[in-house]
A and B are shown apart, each in its own frame.
Chain A
Amino acid sequence: MSSVQIRDVRKSFGNFEVLHGVSIPIEDGQFVVLVGPSGCGKSTLLRMLAGLENITSGTISIGDRVVNNVQPKERDIAMVFQNYALYPHMTVAENMGFSLKLRNAGSDEINKRVKRAAEILALSPLLDRYPRQLSGGQRQRVAMGRAIVRDPQVFLFDEPLSNLDAKLRVAMRTEIKELHQRLKTTTVYVTHDQIEAMTMADKIVVMHDGIVEQMGTPLELYDKPENQFVAGFIGSPAMNFLKGHVRVNGVATFEGPNGVKLPLKSAPAGSDGRPAVYGVRPEHFTIADDGAEAEIVVVEPTGSETQVFAKVGGEQVVAVFRERHQFNPGDKVRLKPDPSVVHLFDEATGKRM
């Protein structure tokens, strides 16, 4: 186990810079999730950490050692690939023991460690099978087994669940988290799925267009997004954004599209009249007489909750209710955002106000 320091790392492919100076401190034993839309540079960063891509500038250190020029095999890391990258001509046991065999470990030692890893991952009955004879979830577990057999300093996961079906994905999510709690190995996990990030991470790093937008615990990011991108990326259904202006005359309010009045707890100093974006999460709407007038467009019950798409001031918003309201499309209701948890963003910069 080791800490990992990523300091001002840049990466260019030819003249095209894909990472514009990324710094991420990772503590020993932490589970860090890099999340962002495709093309944000998160996989590239992970591959640089693994040593599969060169570092254009900046430094990456594992423990106390700067690893910029250290060969992948000497970095003492293990990686789980998106397509698992299992060796098709080796059995499960051979796949898991391959790295030990390359290090000239004795066959007793290999057997012992493979067996232990197989027990942790419930792979014991499958040790003699070939990857082809396994299901997606089993292959996923073998890929993880291959990583834990080595007992490395750092685990790297590159979108490991994206090839699984939805149900299995949820199950494996729990399994990976449980494994981390058990082994406490520093883990860097890349995904584009914010739910995976939220559920698994000790620390989430939201990346976008080659920069870090925000880092923090899942709930920090959820409750206090630093900018509009993070606010929109974290949370499902996504946060509603309404453009308008801050008005301070006695009480602070927000004048939304078509003059809709929306409540604010307080307005930042000197923000009167400034163009801004009003952000409210779907679950922070209530039905109240002093709410903004809304016309219901679509109602989507999921059982545990109901998603309601409605037009507020001509803009579509989504609200989620735990209660079972009897709504029909075309109904007029009054939606009131909870002013204590709404977010205000500068319209020009997208920064939190």
Chain B
Amino acid sequence: MAVIAEPVAAQVKRSSLWSRAFESRNFLGAMFMVPAIAILILFLAYPLALGFWLGMTDTKIGGVGRFIGFQNFVSLSKDSVFWLSVFNTLFYTVFASIVKFAIGLYLALLLNERLPFKSMMRAIVLLPFVVPTVLSAIAFWWIYDSQFSIISWVLIKAGLLTNYIDFLGDPWNARWSVVIANIWRGVPFVAITLLAGLQTISPSLYEAANLDGATNMQRFRHITLPMLSPIIAVVMTFSVLMTFTDFQLIYTITRGGPINATHLMATLSFQRAITGGNLGEGAAISNAMIPFLVAAILLSFFGLQRSRWQQGGRD
């Protein structure tokens, strides 16, 4: 009996190597993660690493670069156009984000009320978000055109102006113009997301506050704002990141002009790397954005940390 049984047992052991592996939670877990890891490496880690590497080289289009350490950054630090683009980017991000938040919150509060044609109004609010950026940028380009601007035309016809406004020819006009275009485009995202947040607040809280004697302003201050704060943190993080890294609007409307007055770090990076052919320098400008973005993320990370009242569990 024992003599016969032994080879059978060995066979069972051998054939079960694969099946045992597929029954192992660890092995299977690793297998299931392979596609996700492959995608992350291919499309996230590799480009990021390549960007870092390029920033440390003097690669030009068509040529093989040498490693030059931080030389790109050293030369950028003496480059007034680079510093101008940093200023522009911060200016663009700060003003556009603040106004987008204010208008978005206002619209969200408005759309959360009982209004006639509510769903239609919600759809209209979403429109700027639906139109392709480049398309809306071209529309703004026409609105800001020095000869055909509808704004100038209306103001002149109304007798408020005598000359056409040079929207995109003057540095500060141009800066404000692109900020406004960005606001127009970014408001729907903020408004709709905040509206979704508002709708999670139970109406009975407002009723309770009403009975407790709260005025409209007090209801906003003591109920809406604290209840909405987690959503506000998420929305503003995304809003700041998207504004900081904006490229399409600027590139279509001004291409960074006049005299680099609207160059953002993203557009300058593209101009130096692709148009100018200095891949290494362009990559370095992109890399210079990273500290700002990390700072923004960290800020929201600590802001996002769930307050004590949101944490579950007892005790």
**Residues on A facing B (Cβ under 8 Å):** 50-52, 72-73, 77-79, 81, 83, 85, 87-90, 98-99, 102-103, 130-135, 146, 150
B207 near A85: Cβ-Cβ < 8 Å: yes
The answer for the CA separation of A51 and B208 in the assembled complex, in Å, is: 11
Pick from A77, A83, A132: contact of B311, CB below 8 A. A132
Tell me how many residues of B have a C-beta within 8 Å of chain A: 25
Residue of B nearest to A50 (CB): B211
**Residues in A neighbouring B312, C-beta threshold 8 A:** 132
* Most chain A CB neighbours (cut-off 10 Å) among B212, B307, B311, B313: B212
A52-B207, A87-B223 as given contacts; A99 in contact with B213, CB under 8 Å: yes
- B222 close to A (CB within 8 Å): yes
The answer for the CA separation of A132 and B306 in the assembled complex, in Å, is: 13
Q: Supply 7 further A-B pairs (C-beta < 8 A) apart from A99-B211, A150-B212.
A: A79-B211, A81-B208, A85-B208, A87-B223, A89-B309, A133-B313, A135-B314
**Residues in A neighbouring B308, C-beta threshold 8 A:** 130
A83 near B204: Cβ-Cβ < 8 Å: yes
**Residues in A neighbouring B210, C-beta threshold 8 A:** 51-52, 72-73
The answer for the CA separation of A87 and B226 in the assembled complex, in Å, is: 10
The answer for the CA separation of A150 and B222 in the assembled complex, in Å, is: 18
B309 near A102: Cβ-Cβ < 8 Å: no
A98 near B222: Cβ-Cβ < 8 Å: yes
The answer for the CA separation of A54 and B212 in the assembled complex, in Å, is: 18
A90-B309, A132-B311 as given contacts; A81 in contact with B213, CB under 8 Å: no
Q: List 22 A-B contacts (CB under 8 A).
A: A51-B210, A52-B207, A52-B211, A73-B212, A73-B213, A77-B211, A79-B207, A81-B208, A85-B202, A85-B205, A87-B205, A87-B208, A87-B209, A87-B223, A88-B227, A89-B227, A102-B212, A131-B309, A132-B309, A132-B310, A132-B312, A150-B212
Least distance between B305 CB and chain A CB atoms (Å): 15
A72 near B211: Cβ-Cβ < 8 Å: yes
Least distance between B16 CB and chain A CB atoms (Å): 49
- B218 close to A (CB within 8 Å): yes
A73 near B214: Cβ-Cβ < 8 Å: yes
Query: What's the dominant secondary structure at chain B's contact region?
Result: helix
- B6 close to A (CB within 8 Å): no
**Residues in B neighbouring A133, C-beta threshold 8 A:** 313-315
The answer for the CA separation of A131 and B313 in the assembled complex, in Å, is: 11
The answer for the CA separation of A51 and B213 in the assembled complex, in Å, is: 12
The answer for the CA separation of A71 and B212 in the assembled complex, in Å, is: 11
The answer for the CA separation of A72 and B307 in the assembled complex, in Å, is: 31
A81 near B227: Cβ-Cβ < 8 Å: no
A83-B202, A133-B313 as given contacts; A102 in contact with B207, CB under 8 Å: no
Least distance between B210 CB and chain A CB atoms (Å): 5
**Residues in A neighbouring B222, C-beta threshold 8 A:** 87, 98
A88 near B211: Cβ-Cβ < 8 Å: no
**Residues in B neighbouring A132, C-beta threshold 8 A:** 309-313
**Residues in B neighbouring A146, C-beta threshold 8 A:** 208, 212
Least distance between B217 CB and chain A CB atoms (Å): 11
Least distance between B200 CB and chain A CB atoms (Å): 11
Which residues 61-118 in B have Cβ within 8 Å of A in the complex?
A: none
The answer for the CA separation of A194 and B211 in the assembled complex, in Å, is: 28
The answer for the CA separation of A89 and B225 in the assembled complex, in Å, is: 10
The answer for the CA separation of A44 and B214 in the assembled complex, in Å, is: 22
Least distance between A123 CB and chain B CB atoms (Å): 15
The answer for the CA separation of A250 and B255 in the assembled complex, in Å, is: 109
The answer for the CA separation of A103 and B209 in the assembled complex, in Å, is: 12
Q: Mark B190-215, 1 if CB is under 8 A from A, else 0.
A: 00000000000010110111111110
**Residues in B neighbouring A131, C-beta threshold 8 A:** 309
The answer for the CA separation of A102 and B315 in the assembled complex, in Å, is: 29
* Most chain A CB neighbours (cut-off 10 Å) among B207, B211, B226, B314: B211
Which residues 276-315 in B have Cβ within 8 Å of A in the complex?
A: 307-315
A79-B208, A132-B312, A133-B313 as given contacts; A89 in contact with B213, CB under 8 Å: no
Residue of B nearest to A143 (CB): B208
**Residues in B neighbouring A52, C-beta threshold 8 A:** 207, 210-211
Least distance between A254 CB and chain B CB atoms (Å): 49
B212 near A98: Cβ-Cβ < 8 Å: yes
**Residues in B neighbouring A79, C-beta threshold 8 A:** 207-208, 211
Least distance between A219 CB and chain B CB atoms (Å): 33
A85 near B213: Cβ-Cβ < 8 Å: no
**Residues in B neighbouring A72, C-beta threshold 8 A:** 207, 210-211
A87-B205, A89-B226 as given contacts; A78 in contact with B214, CB under 8 Å: no
The answer for the CA separation of A100 and B75 in the assembled complex, in Å, is: 63
**Residues in B neighbouring A83, C-beta threshold 8 A:** 202, 204
B309 near A130: Cβ-Cβ < 8 Å: yes
B204 near A88: Cβ-Cβ < 8 Å: no
**Residues in B neighbouring A102, C-beta threshold 8 A:** 212-214, 218
**Residues in A neighbouring B315, C-beta threshold 8 A:** 133
